[in-house]
Structure 1
Amino acid sequence: MRNPWLLRFPARPDARLRLLCLPGAGSTAAMYRSWSRELPDDVEVCAVQLPGRAGRLRETPFTAMEPLADALAEVLAAELDRPAVLFGHSLGSLIGYEVACRLRDAGADGEVRELMVAAHRAPRLGSAGLAYHRLPTEQLMTVMAGLGGTPADVLARPELVRLAEPAMRADFEVDYTYRHRDRPPLALPVSVFGGTGDTTVSEAELAQWRTHTTGEFTLRMLRGDHFFHEGPSGAELLSLIGARLLESV
């Protein structure tokens, strides 16, 4: 039976490594649909589809990190029959960290080779403090347009906004209410990527991810805004990720 939490772009049963991708606030698994074309053929791109969007539109979205990370850690533990790397963008970075901690604490992280994160401050700094989930619809859509990443044709169509808005609000609430719990650092390598023009997070805040690992740490700043992976730096990002993945298998 198909797992509603994961979309494979495409399924590669013989892949040597899985890249488990977590979307940012308001985004769907589809943001990773094209990645397998740019990554090594023996990598299976598995993108998480959170409840409340796309094929899971009728499900209630999570509004708090703890139950979300608990549920997702259980799902992803079943995908660790081969080496795997976690990648998260924006809110997905926090989710990825929380899942990695849970897998480690459960002794289920033996095949997790690395945590890759992008466009979010380090967990120890807590919430980004952006109460977007409380904004009236028109203001929230203005924020989404300013951040980029949401297709203009979606924002321009009230019927599509009505469908997407609950998940957007839920994701921003997850981020806003996030509180970091002190725990031992991960032993995994942690690779961090940021956009030089991203107004939501500074390079100094990205650098604080270093405190969450005793393993190798790298920080790369690429040209672009919060969604630098969709702009001119997208190819460079995937090249850097691909090189790291080849080192993991």
Structure 2
Amino acid sequence: MPSAPGPSAQLWLRGLDSRRQTARYRLFVFPHAGAGASSYRLAEHFPDSVEVCSVQLPGRENRFVEPPLLSVQAVVDELAPLISGRSELPFGFFGHSMGALLAFALTHRLRDTGAPLPTRLYLSALRAPHLPDREPLHHLSDADLLARLERSEFAGLDPELQELLLPTVRADLTVCETYEHRNQSPLPCPFTVLGGDRDDSVREPELAAWRRHTSAAFELRMFPGDHLYVRGTEQQIAESIAHTLPVRGRETSPVRG
């Protein structure tokens, strides 16, 4: 049995060992830009045989005073040894938007270092990384950036809270927009790619383009909703994930809400 997580793992991986006695599978969850580990309530929709560990990046929630990281490489440098050190259970990665990019890049790093790989990647609301970049936002002034974000959930926040969170959002946009995709051999992990059918920022063909990045099975699942379709559909997402888990038996079926 692995030792108890150290201070670094406890900071980065919320929920680690929360189901120490019963877990047969571990799902690492990577949130979208500006979000923290508490953004998605997936754990309550899985049975005790699935442990959900949400990644907590610096600059948010209980790590708000820490400066946010500014590149995919910096995030992967921190996470790769933590994940590879906790591979005593089969595991998968679920990432939404920026989180999908982090999950993808981290899997490549694990493969490069010979570490165990996730049994499957669940990549949500992100266009395939080889597609041409859109107009970057991270360099805009605060006023212009706020205006561009007016249609996001960020726009509904109190102005003082917007001002407080804007540096973290800008940092996360920097992470995404400065990522340079390298042509690499496809990953051997199966992919499940998910998206919202009314997401103006990521169209279905851009999601389907992820197929070229895996040499294993691929499926595309669309849900009702926009870019943040995940809010309120956690149970349906959990059902989609449970359907592909490598562990068998009724105990792996999601708990009904």
Q: TM-score of the superposition, structure 2-length normalised? A: 0.86
Task: Select 2:80's aligned residue among 61, 64, 73.
Answer: 73
- Shift of residue 126, structure 1, vs aligned partner: 5.4
Gaps of 5+ in 1: none
Provide the identity percentage: 37
Which moved further from structure 2: 135-144 or 3-12?
Answer: 135-144
Letter in 1 for 2:138: H
Task: Select 2:34's aligned residue among 16, 26, 36.
Answer: 26
Q: Which has the higher helix share?
A: 1
Q: Compared with structure 1, are the counterparts of its residues 35 and 173 closer, same or farther at alpha carbon in structure 2 (3 Å cutoff)?
A: same
Distance in 2, Cα, partners of 1:73 & 1:126: 27
- Shift of residue 29, structure 1, vs aligned partner: 0.6
Aligned residues: 241
Correspondence list, 1:98-177, <5 A: 98-110=105-117, 112-125=118-131, 127=133, 129-148=134-153, 150=154, 152=156, 155-158=157-160, 160-177=161-178
Distance in 1, Cα, partners of 2:231 & 2:203: 19
- Shift of residue 144, structure 1, vs aligned partner: 3.6
- Shift of residue 79, structure 1, vs aligned partner: 1.9
- Shift of residue 142, structure 1, vs aligned partner: 4.2
Distance in 2, Cα, partners of 1:147 & 1:238: 24
Contact 1:20–1:87 (8 Å) recurs in 2: yes
Distance in 2, Cα, partners of 1:141 & 1:24: 17
Task: Select 2:18's aligned residue among 11, 17, 34.
Answer: 11
**Corresponding position of 2:255:** none
- Shift of residue 51, structure 1, vs aligned partner: 0.9
Correspondence list, 1:230-241, <5 A: 230-231=231-232, 233-241=233-241
Which moved further from structure 2: 8-17 or 172-181?
Answer: 8-17
Please list every run of at least 4 consecutive aligned residues from structure 1 whose deviation after the TM superposition is greater than 6 angstroms: none
Distance in 1, Cα, partners of 2:87 & 2:140: 39
- Shift of residue 147, structure 1, vs aligned partner: 2.3
RMSD of aligned C-alpha atoms? 2.0
- Shift of residue 236, structure 1, vs aligned partner: 2.1
Q: Compared with structure 1, are the counterparts of its residues 101 and 9 closer, same or farther at alpha carbon in structure 2 (3 Å cutoff)?
A: closer
Task: Select 1:59's aligned residue among 56, 63, 66.
Answer: 66
Contact 1:65–1:174 (8 Å) recurs in 2: yes
